[in-house]
Structure formats: C-alpha cells, structure tokens
Amino acid sequence: MLIEGFPAQVAGTNCFVIAAGPGEQCVIVDPGVGVTGQLDEVISENRLHPVAVLLTHGHLDHTFSVLPVCQARDVPAYIHTEDRFALADPWTTLGLRPGEPIFGATGLTFAEPDDVRELADGTRLQLAGLDLAVRHAPGHTRGSVVFSLDVASEDPAAELSEVLFSGDVLFAGSIGRVDLPGGSMADMTQSLRSVILPMADEVIVCPGHGPQTTIGRERLTNPFLRNLM
C-alpha cells in the first residue's frame, strides 16, 4: 500500500495520493492551493496513474487545484451533493461576495471539472484497485465526508489495518471549525458521535490539516471526543 501526503502552500491543507503500490493506478484526495508541482513529482516518482480526485468537502483550500488536476489527466472529481455548488462558487462557503479577493488574490475564476460525480452516505468506491467507504459527516460543511480505506483487506501483509481520510471533521487534538456558512456544531457533534466514535482505536487518521493520529489517541486526548463519551 502506498499513501503519500504533503501540505499545500496555503493553509497547510494535506493532499494525499493513495495507491495499491508503485506503478499502479491511484486516487488523489484534496488537491489544495499550489499542489500541482509536488503532486506531479509524487506521481512520477512512483510511476502512478491517477484515476480520480476525491474531495472531503467544498472549501477552497481543499479544492483549489481540482480543475487543473482533473483536466490535465482526464479524470473525474467526487464530492458530496451538498457541497458540489462550491466548486464553481467558493465565495459563498467563505461568507464572501462573488469576486471578492480570496487568499489575498483578485480576479480568480472557478469552474467544475468536466466530470463531477456526487457522493452520498454509504457510497462505496472501487477505484484504483481500492475499496473506499464514504460516510457523510456534516458539521464543518453540509457536504463534509470522510473516506475509510480497509488496508488489511487490500494488502494482508500491510502493517496498517484501516486508514481514515477525515478532511476537516477530525484533527489531532481538535475538530474543524463550524462558524463558516454551512457549518453547524449540532451537526458536527452528531457526526463525531455516529461516524467517528464507533471506529476502532487502531484506525489511522490522515486529517485535512496537521499530523497523522489514531482514533484511539483522539478518544483519549481530544477534548471534543472526550466530552461526548
């Protein structure tokens, strides 16, 4: 199993590349601002062949490069139905008027990739030889999702058992903010209770920002999870 992650130039958003191994097909998770060069390096060094881009939610720091990545490699983008609008209108999710500067830049324009496929709770994606489970986990945005990869079933020799790509639902020691349009603390609490807490302690968490962690570690130390237990 190959999982490569690196932070984007803006907001430190983690972009991940997932494949069964070098020389195989791969999927890309959350290509943020300025990631295309480093992404190309990871793909080239590992002789990978992208087949899809997966988006944990519609905020621009996670979707900024989705159009060039998809168009350059002729692959689809997957995003939850509730956040699809943000691909062409990221201003609304940030509480801005269309055309206002974003990240200090003016004159930005946005559009959907040619092929956008909508996700729903319980969707299973068979891509690049991987089996990814999708769980709808609103709270940070209405369309936030997490992607769960059962590594053991794909590679019995792997040291990892299950990996969760949690976007901005769960971080090491914290959770995603809920004060932007579409955010809801009530929804986040329900997502943490019904989606995150039932997971096994050994699940590796690859979050949208910050370092890797585990469900067990967060269950013990993350104040937002401890308050629900």
Q: Percent of the chain having pLDDT more than 90?
A: 85
CB 222 within 8 A of CB 207: no
Confirm if 191 and 133 have CB atoms less than 8 A apart.
no
Share of the chain above pLDDT 70, in %: 96
Residue 156 has pLDDT above 80, yes or no: no
Taking only the tens place, the pLDDT of each residue in 64-86 is 999 999 999 999 999 999 999 99
Mean pLDDT of 209-214: 97
Tell me: pLDDT of 225 over 80: yes
pLDDT at residue 130 above 90?
Answer: yes
Indicate whether 212 pLDDT > 80: yes
Contact yes or no for 147/54 (Cβ under 8 A): yes
- Which pLDDT band, with edges at 50, 70 and 90, does 99 fall under? confident
pLDDT tens per residue across span 171-205? 999 999 999 999 999 999 999 999 999 999 999 99
Quote the mean pLDDT of the chain.
94
Long-range Cβ contacts of 88-97 (<8 Å, 24+ apart): 88/112, 90/58, 90/59, 90/60, 90/63, 92/181, 93/58, 93/59, 93/60, 93/141, 93/180, 93/181, 93/182, 94/59, 94/60, 94/180, 94/181, 95/180, 95/181
Task: Check residue 110 and give its pLDDT.
Answer: 87
DSSP letters along 19-54, please? Answer: ESSTTSEEEEE---TT-HHHHHHHHHHTT-EEEEEE
| Full set of structural domains in the chain with CATH | 2-226 (3.60.15.10)
